[in-house]
């Protein structure tokens, strides 16, 4: 019998140094505050400012500048340039050794792919 392992990865894998990317609640709070400042009033009543999905949905639909603000907010964080940490490297090595063949991630960053590249590996990613 062959046992296969699939990793399910969230933002926690990208918090550790040197990556240092924020967790969802921080991204949500920053987006919430920027939107309120940009619009000049609280148009998000009842939205939990720490819930990234709720804030993103509310911002995208609350005002004409919402979608652009959402896109701009995501560029504040170095999702495509943050240095991969040891966790990303270990995951890449697990792929290299064929100990895992699938990893699912809900992250915006590309740290696992870039860590794999350092080991001359190519990992296919679907978002």
Q: H helices of 78-120, where?
A: 86-96, 111-118
pTM value? Answer: 0.79
pLDDT tens for 69-122 read: 778 877 888 988 999 999 999 999 999 888 888 889 888 899 999 999 998 988
Cβ atoms of 36 and 44 within 8 Å: the answer is: yes
Distances (CA, A) of 26 to 1, 29, 56, 64: 43, 5, 12, 23
Contact (CB, 8 A) for 84 and 19: yes
pLDDT at 23 over 80: yes
Distance CA 7, CA 63 (A): 37
For 43-74, the pLDDT digits (tens) are 778 899 999 899 888 888 876 777 787 788 77
């Amino acid at each position: 019998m062959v046992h296969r392992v699939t990793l399910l990865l969230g933002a926690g894998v990208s918090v550790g140094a040197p990556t240092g990317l924020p967790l969802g609640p921080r991204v949500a709070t920053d987006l919430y505050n920027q939107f309120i400042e940009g619009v000049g009033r609280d148009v998000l009543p009842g939205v939990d400012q720490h819930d990234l999905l709720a804030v993103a949905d509310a911002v995208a639909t609350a005002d004409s500048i919402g979608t652009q603000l959402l896109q701009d907010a995501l560029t504040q964080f170095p999702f495509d340039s943050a240095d991969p940490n040891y966790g990303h490297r270990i995951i890449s090595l697990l792929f290299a050794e064929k100990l895992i063949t699938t990893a699912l991630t809900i992250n915006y960053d590309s740290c696992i792919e870039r860590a794999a590249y350092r080991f001359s590996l190519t990992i296919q990613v679907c978002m």
